[in-house]
Amino acid sequence: MVAEVASIGTPDPLTFVVHLKKPVSAFLNYMASPYGPKAISPAAIKAHKTAKAPWAQTWLANHDAGTGPYTLSSVVPGQSYVMTAYPKYWGPKPYYTTVDISQIPSFSTQELELRSGTLNVILHGVLPADLSQFQNSSSFQIQRFPSIVRLNLWINPHLAPFTNQAVRLAVAQAINRQKIISEVFHNTATVANQMYPMGALPTGEGTFDPTFDPSKLKALAASLPSKHVDLAYTTDDPVNAQVADLVAQDLDAAGLKVTTRGVTEATTFAWPTHPAGRADMLILPANPDDADASAWATLFYAEGGGLSYFEPNVTAADQQINVGLHSVQKSTILAHYATAANLYRESGDFIPLADEQEVAVAQSGITGWSHDFSTLWTVRLWDLKAK
């Protein structure tokens, strides 16, 4: 994101100027992104830097140096983060003076603690099939938000049987996405019909809409020397296992022999650069760093992308993304992004499955809901109030 930054300046206390080496059409998206560049107080860095952490990394792992309504007051790694209202905040004081963010790996435990009143809000992880239990109770509320969270399936083109492009493309036709998404998500997701998350391209551009026809894969599978497939899914959301099982059933019916296994998201972070342990296929929900199409492509699809799990090589598409990113006319930018989307689709390396809603379940007395569209499982805590 900062590769094209030539220099920065602060001509006055309320102005921050960035000079670029060349146009970057998504740069304002970067600046608005929760994962984007941050301006950190030089005084804070100087006060807390060490020889081993010259940018105060060790201190910042457990503290903050921001300008928001809350300050990080306690961190217990793997257990909780506690934030308290910041007395010098420039805006209105938040209603809640303390926010305790608990890390509870078990989703069933989360639900039990919500019912008992120990938790006030669960930001994700309640199975769609369980939502009706909360919907029909006056003690709880369900909040649904549109998002750019995308459930995707990545195929490893370097391992048999998926070294064959025809097999990869046939996989997309063998999966009954409509049936799977309807069965698992009910009304909390829709079948993905574009190569990038919703809103990145105009309707009808960069489409993904394969005809359901398992006979194509069945015909190819009959002559494959190896039909065994290792399908991994991340354990950060309980629906992932359900989706993986149904995908496996469809592929088994088309002649493959699929086994599924859960992996942590942290495990998948190593896959782009460490082939050992990679699966043949991977299912996980993800969101790009911002809503620009290039953010998804350069992170998840492009060669060398930080989360391009299986080192795909769709060079022509990557080039189109780069041309669009450094163009200035919106129509030109979108045209290059759409061309790239079509090339990514034809590679067979990527299968969009669903565009997910963000769903939070909370105690009934909480109001002031405001969702962060581009951030996974996040609401604006400053806005929350109690009746």
CA dihedral 223, 224, 228, 230 (to 10 degrees): -130
- Strand 189-191 to 281-286 pairing: unpaired
**The sheet that has 80-85: what strands, in order across it?**
70-76, 80-85, 98-102
Residue whose tokens read 């370097």: 158
Which DSSP category does 174 fall into?
A: H
Half-sphere exposure of 246 (CA within 13 A, CB side): 18
What pLDDT was estimated at residue 20? Answer: 97
Domain definitions of the chain by residue range: 5-42, 147-356
SS3 358: strand
CATH ID of 147-356, from 3.10.105.10, 3.30.70.3040, 3.40.50.300, 3.30.590.10: 3.10.105.10
What sign does the CA torsion over 116, 122, 125, 129 have?
A: positive
What pLDDT was estimated at residue 69? Answer: 94
Strand partners, 362: 121, 141
Q: Please state, in angstroms and rounded to a whole number, the distance separating the CA atoms of residues 201 and 208.
A: 12
Q: Whose CA is closest to 362, among 342, 381, 375?
A: 381
Q: Please state, in angstroms and rounded to a whole number, the distance separating the CA atoms of residues 357 and 144.
A: 6
Task: For 248, list phi and psi in degrees, rounded to 5.
Answer: -60, -40
Q: Are 247 and 153 in contact (CB under 8 A)?
A: yes
Q: Please state, in angstroms and rounded to a whole number, the distance separating the CA atoms of residues 142 and 198.
A: 22
SS3 42: helix
Q: What is the pTM of this model?
A: 0.89
Per-residue tens of pLDDT for the chain, all 387 residues:
999 999 999 999 889 999 999 999 999 999 988 888 888 888 999 999 999 999 999 999 899 988 899 999 999 988 999 999 999 999 999 999 999 999 998 889 999 999 999 999 999 888 898 898 898 899 999 999 988 899 999 999 999 999 999 999 999 999 999 999 999 999 899 999 999 998 999 999 999 999 999 999 999 999 999 999 999 999 988 899 999 999 999 999 999 999 999 999 999 999 999 998 999 999 999 989 888 999 999 999 999 999 999 999 999 999 999 999 999 999 999 999 999 999 999 999 999 999 999 999 999 999 999 987 777 788 888 899 998
The residue type of 105 is P
What pLDDT was estimated at residue 377? Answer: 83
- Strand 98-102 to 80-85 pairing: antiparallel
Q: Please state, in angstroms and rounded to a whole number, the distance separating the CA atoms of residues 190 and 197.
A: 11
Could you give the C-alpha distances from 98 to 84, 94, 190, in angstroms and in order? 4, 9, 36
